[in-house]
Structure 1
Amino acid sequence: MTALATTAGLDGRPGAPGSPGTDPASDRRLRRGALLARAGFLVPALVIAVALLWALFPGLFTGQSPTETVAPALQAPSAEHWFGTDATGRDLYARVVYGASQSIVGALVAVLVGLVVGTAIGLAAGSLGGAVDEVLMRVVDVLLAIPALLLSLSVVILLGFGTTSAAIAVGVTSIAVFARLARSRVVSVRVTDFVEAAYGSGGTFFGVLWRHILPNSLTPVIALAALQFGSAILQISTLGFLGYGAPPPTPEWGLLIAEGRNYVATAWWLTVLPGLIVVFVVLATNRLSQALRGGDAA
């Protein structure tokens, strides 16, 4: 009986004493890993949700005005003013909350511009091939050769200053990235068996393109859009910091950091707290992008 029990325990069947699936330490590690993976997704999702709510419903999170003086200037963070006050006595927390509508909505517009235009270019190049592919990809190469900040500054100067112009400019800089990825996915999907079967069943070029090629090419593009969302927030904040975004006194995250840079030694919260908000939101979007790519599917 002892020999039979030992043999049963070593054969790896579920429930056997020696089976890895019944090792308490291994089970605890698996459960701990699952909890960490869940927390690693929920925490950034919560950060993004709060930022979106700030952008859409700022009045629910603060009763202070973002443009009116409400207290003495340069007050440190306190229970009454969570982020302190700026150089003119405006509540910094209220300005950060209301500034989300400029930065977040601007980033969404930028990603939408890059996603739609870039995916259309990549879809046309990958599906048509030949001379069309060559011409479109050479245009994309030119866009990739220009530094993103220089290109966005050029577009802003052409369109004029403002959040909308900055968002479009940032979107233009991301067109090439979306186009390259979409084209590579379309090229790989269009030679698959189910696409050939769709053509063999009498499907038209545009019908197969819309029903089969495009849906099966979008997953990595959507993941890239999540990643580009964080990058767009950084770029729009950079343009705002340089003075090409929303004009004062309109609150915008990059502009808030720029307004506090002269007070770093005496009022650190003017730059540190808005900067931390930008960092947290960008890191959260990067984390969600990794999850969309399937790296943390467990």
Structure 2
Amino acid sequence: MTAVDLTREPRDAGDRGESRLLRIWRAVRRSGVLVPLLILVVALLWAVAPGLFTSMSPTETVGPALQGPSGQFWFGTDATGRDLYARVVYGASESISAALLAVLVGLVFGSLIGVIAGAVGGGIDEALMRFVDVLLAIPTLLLSLSIVILLGFGTANAAIAVGVTSVAVFARLSRSQVVSVRASEYVEAAYGSGGTFWSVLGRHVLPNSLTPVIALAALQLGSAILQISTLGFLGYGAPPPTPEWGLLIAEGRNYVATAWWLTTLPGLVVVCIVLSTNRLSQAIGSDTRNGGTR
């Protein structure tokens, strides 16, 4: 009897481990984030190691001009004979890195403003929130264009401009979360147990208030890609012949009637990535609402 129990114990542990993996796999499938995750992984690999996906140069002529999609040129060629697929793949480095920089700028400065306003309160809260209201009152595109004109053209400056436009959104969300957590019973109990302002802020308030901000960061990544592509389309982003998604779409707008692939295929790539980030953000937000942390 003892021998049977000893032989079953490892198998039970393995079964528990296997069932845990199966539960995670089923949860991912039910949440509908498997395909968006795969799309984002591919896009990130494009940005990190584009040479793994194409052997062609994104800036050199490799074939006839304006050749349609084929087995040799998956996305066709542009007006100068450059491979459009290679330009889209290498353009991921410009567009995604700029979008990540934009989200980082908005996340850091917006969360800092929101946390200070929500944690300190009083006149500081009032002054910071009025500053945030001013940022929200300015149209996003107008504000980003103004900042780019002041800083100068280029992908990095466009990313900073887009990041500044998202500061207000991060600030309002982080402030509301901090105010909500500060009013909870376990925070009051922490203060009653002798906790200082900084210890309670670091151990209880911040860990329980910034999780929704992470979901917003995933959502803002897609928005940042769109805004940076818009600035590139208008000519305020990376200069030619840099392969940047907005610039690729702009270069093909004069050939819409004769070479539809020049704008359609890069546009579809942008749409798929933005929709994937939005779906991932929804999944993170849903998990936050259902679970939460303490």
- The interval holding the TM-score normalised by the smaller chain is 0.7 to 0.9
1:135 and 2:127 equivalent? yes
CA shift, 1:39, in A, is: 6.9
Q: Which residue is 2:153 aligned to?
A: 161
Deviation at 1:116, TM superposition (A): 0.6
Normalising by structure 1, we get a TM-score of 0.86
- In structure 2, which of residues 41, 55, 72 is the aligned counterpart of residue 80 of structure 1? 72
Equivalent residue for 1:179, pick from 161, 167, 171: 171
Q: Which residue of 1 aligns with 2:112?
A: 120
Say whether residues 1:219 and 2:211 are aligned partners.
yes
Residue type of the partner of 1:43?
V
Q: Which moved more, 1:205-214 or 1:253-262?
A: 205-214
For residues 5-28 of structure 1, the C-alpha deviation after alignment (integer angstroms, 9 at most, x for no partner) is xxxxxxxxxxxxxxxxxxxxxxxx
> SS state of the match for residue 294, structure 1?
helix
Alpha-carbon separation, structure 1, partners of 2:148 and 2:207: 33
Specify every segment of 5 or more residues in structure 2 that has no aligned partner in the other structure, as ranges. Answer: 1-25
Measure the CA separation in 2 of the matches of 1:37 and 1:292: 14
Question: What is the number of equivalent residue pairs in this alignment?
Answer: 266
1:247 corresponds to: 239
Answer yes or no: is 1:44 the counterpart of 2:16: no
How much does 1:36 deviate?
9.2
- Offset of residue 65 of structure 1: 0.2
Residues 1:277 and 2:269 are matched in the alignment? yes
Alpha-carbon distance in structure 2 between the residues aligned to 1:119 and 1:287: 23
The one-letter code of the counterpart of 1:269 is: W
The CA distance in 2 between the partners of 1:206 and 1:95, in whole Å, is 49
Distance 1:39 1:49 in 2: 17
**Aligned residue in 1 for 2:191:** 199
Per-residue displacement from partner, 1:217-254 (whole Å, max 9, x unpaired)? 01111111110000000000000000000000000000
For residues 232 and 78 of structure 2, the distance between their equivalents in structure 1, rounded to whole angstroms, comes to 17
Alignment of 1:70 onto 2:62: yes
Judge conservation of contact 2:148–2:161 (CA < 8 Å) in 1: yes
Deviates more, 1:161-170 or 1:199-208: 199-208
Distance 1:165 1:80, change over 3 A: same
1:103–1:253 Cα contact (<8 Å) kept: yes
Q: Using a 3 Å threshold, how does the CA distance of structure 1 residues 66 and 189 change in structure 2: closer, same or farther?
A: same
CA contact (8 A) 1:126 1:133 kept: yes
Partner of 2:143: 151
CA contact (8 A) 2:28 2:34 kept: no
Measured in 1, the distance between the counterparts of 2:47 and 2:30 equals 26
After TM superposition, the score normalised by the length of structure 2 is 0.88
Answer yes or no: is the 8 Å Cα contact 1:260–1:271 preserved in 2.
Answer: yes
1:267 to 240, 259, 278: 259
TM-aligned CA deviation for residue 38 of structure 1: 3.2
By how many angstroms is 1:291 displaced? 0.3
- Measured in 1, the distance between the counterparts of 2:142 and 2:169 equals 16
Query: For residues 266-292 of structure 1, what are the alpha-carbon distances to aligned partners after superposition, in whole Å with 9 as ceiling and x for unaligned?
Result: 000000000000000000000001100
Give, in angstroms, the shift of residue 143 of structure 1. 0.1
**1-side partners of 2:212 and 2:43: how far apart?**
24
SS at match of 2:80: coil
1:22-66, Cα deviation, whole Å (9 max, x unpaired): xxxxxxxxxxxx689537210000000000000010011000000
What is the CA distance between 1:203 and its match in structure 2?
Answer: 1.6
Kindly provide the amino acid, as one letter, of the partner of residue 231 in structure 1. S
Q: Larger radius of gyration, structure 1 or 2?
A: 1
Percent identical among aligned pairs is: 77
For the 8 Å contact 1:291–1:297, the answer to whether it is kept is no
